[in-house]
Structure 1
Amino acid sequence: MGKIGEKLDIDFVVSTGDNFYDNGLRDVNDPSFLESFSNIYTAKSLQKQWYSVLGNHDYRGDVLAQLSPTLRKIDKRWFCQRTFTLSTGIADFFFIDTTPFMDDYYTLSEHTYDWRGVSPRKGYLKYHLKELEEALKKSTARWKIVVGHHAIRSISHHGDSRELVNHLMPILKTNNVDIYLNGHDHCLQHIRSIDSPLLYVTSGAGSKAWRGDIKDSNSDTVKFFHDGQGFMSVEMTELKAKFAFYNVFGEKIHHWKVTKTSLHPST
């Protein structure tokens, strides 16, 4: 990852959640922050700003610790909030908090979750969706990218998230979002919507992978699936976005581009 970062001269890094396994951080002094972040991503090319969302494993620990400015004093690269917008000029990135949408974490899970700042859930989700919709409508960026932890569409272990299909997908399509980027499933996926330009991209293969189970394809088109470890890169201009998936050895295993003239991906 560091070598590819150097080759591309990257501007920043996006992390799709589950930042600290297995149960998030204990507090702001948890050594896991250094052991799983600062002391791992040491390449010179990765000394850029990191923008992170929360995953379900992060909610099993002290969520407020990951959101605390104290961590940014320890490592200035770290930035994690429940929701925020990153404006880069030609692209706006909308980071969202998907874990509170998932019903199973409230009803079926054997784990304890830190819901401080989320309860009451119904009001939190309503406000969250309204805030996202308003931000998307106001955006004048050439590209709109929404980043969350859970997949909307996936053929891997966890499959589609019906809560996001019902509540989030319509907002993304109505507001002409180009890409929904997520983690959660430990794989690399490129899925194209059949009824809109929206792309579903999974990059959750930074650590645990090789789950070995693939679900039946949904109604959208699966362009690529890799069950192993890896990461992705995105290069964007006003008219073109180039995407690439890399395996754990830094070898390019899939790539495609999207142009703003046709709004359809070509390989």
Structure 2
Amino acid sequence: MASALALVSSSLFLTFLSSSSSSSSAELLRFEHPTKHDGSLSLIVVGDWGRKGECNQSQVAKQTAWPESKTRPSRSPSPTSTRPRVFRSNVLGNHDYRGDVLAQLSPVLRKIDSRWLCLRSFILQTEIADFFFVDTTPFVLKYWRRPKDHHYDWREVSPRNQYINTLLQDLDGALKESIAPWKFVVGHHTMRSVSKHGDTEELLEKLLPVLKEHGVDIYINGHDHCLEHISSKDSSIQYLTSGGGSNAWRGTYTPNDDELQFFYDGQGFMAMEVMAASVKIKFYDVFGQVQRAEFNKALRYVYQAKNREMRISRVEEKEKGRNAEDRQIGRVRR
């Protein structure tokens, strides 16, 4: 599974919730995940790790072995401590579609290891955040029209337009229903990136408007083999890339229109501490050294306030325009 993106949580268990048949997001299976005793969530995000142990893949894996210590350094376990149970929620990437997709989605894998969760698209619900996992590979047109020497397994996906439209409708309904303080969307492909793959135009055109409409806070992805944080200039969305699970050092940098906060062109992973009113993000390199740590405080509410001011301004401008038109019409009539 070379290009899958995993969110690894150190909470204790994951329970399944069946979807209501009357729900507008009935096609997206929902799972429930508890917060820790203090009401927070600790996550490790690793992408693009599959190199059979090469390209420092094993070294990155070693650094992620203790999720709790990565998000709370003061509580690092001793070598004799019992390792916490770790649950892995995965989303498919483009390399996964070049193999047997149905084998990777098989429920047999969960019978082998109940901590493993991999579906095309699904929702992971917690008390303080909802995670919306989105299957982004079918969005990318070149995989359909110009696959080169690759064979993509489009079973249960083709026809493309119907699949994407249904997925976007389900996601739109699920985001609309969400009452969680935080909304995170997870997909393999980049939305915004300054590295080799850059922006994914199909996602900017089709997926991004849905995220903006419902005030999504963070879009998390892999695909580009690096670590990145980019802030949107016209919304509250933060774009976080964690694709440094193995092969990296592409040597490519192409700026885009949004605001680059951090870029590390090497191997590593991302750790997140999610609380009700804030999110703490740390990027680690292959040696476990912190390359960047930041604390984002409820960015959504700042942008909502700005948007309200903008809407008020537009209404006032329209009213002024109408009054001016009325005065002009009055002059003409006289």
Q: Do these two structures clear the TM 0.5 threshold for a shared fold by scoring above it?
A: yes
1:187 to 2:222 alignment: no
Selected match of 2:144 from 106, 119, 139: 106
Selected match of 1:80 from 118, 121, 128: 118
Equivalences, count: 243
- The match for 1:26 is none
For residues 12-64 of structure 1, the C-alpha deviation after alignment (integer angstroms, 9 at most, x for no partner) is: 65555x56569xxxxxxxxxxxx99xx98876657411000000000001101
| TM score, norm. by length of structure 1 | 0.84
Selected match of 2:99 from 56, 61, 67: 61
Q: Give the superposition deviation at 1:73.
A: 1.9
Give the 3 Å change call, closer, same or farther, for CA 45–205 of structure 1 in structure 2: farther
Selected match of 1:128 from 151, 167, 192: 167
| Aligned-residue identity in percent | 51
Aligned pairs (5 A) from 1:112-261:
112-215=151-254, 217-260=255-298
Aligned mates of 1:11, 1:157 — CA distance in 2: 29
Give the 3 Å change call, closer, same or farther, for CA 207–116 of structure 1 in structure 2: same
Q: Give the superposition deviation at 1:262.
A: 6.7
Gaps of 5+ in 1: 23-34
Give the 3 Å change call, closer, same or farther, for CA 45–256 of structure 1 in structure 2: farther
Ranked by relative contact order (alpha carbons within 8 Å, sequence separation 6 or more), the top structure is: 2
Greater mean deviation of Cα atoms: 254-263 or 152-161: 254-263
Q: Give the superposition deviation at 1:214.
A: 1.1
Report if aligned partners of 1:12, 1:48 keep a CA contact under 8 Å in 2.
no
Report if aligned partners of 2:222, 2:241 keep a CA contact under 8 Å in 1.
yes
Aligned mates of 2:165, 2:276 — CA distance in 1: 33
| TM score, norm. by length of structure 2 | 0.68
Local SS of the residue matching 1:59: helix
The amino acid of 2:215's aligned partner reads N
Gaps of 5+ in 2: 1-9, 12-35, 67-81, 304-334
Aligned mates of 2:111, 2:49 — CA distance in 1: 18
Q: Give the superposition deviation at 1:99.
A: 0.2
Report if aligned partners of 2:279, 2:295 keep a CA contact under 8 Å in 1.
yes
Report the aligned-residue RMSD: 2.5
Aligned mates of 1:72, 1:117 — CA distance in 2: 20
Larger relative helix fraction: 2
1:50 to 2:88 alignment: yes
Aligned mates of 2:192, 2:225 — CA distance in 1: 14
Report if aligned partners of 2:269, 2:283 keep a CA contact under 8 Å in 1.
yes
Report if aligned partners of 1:258, 1:264 keep a CA contact under 8 Å in 2.
no
Give the 3 Å change call, closer, same or farther, for CA 234–141 of structure 1 in structure 2: same
The amino acid of 1:239's aligned partner reads A
Aligned mates of 2:175, 2:131 — CA distance in 1: 10
Give the 3 Å change call, closer, same or farther, for CA 143–13 of structure 1 in structure 2: same
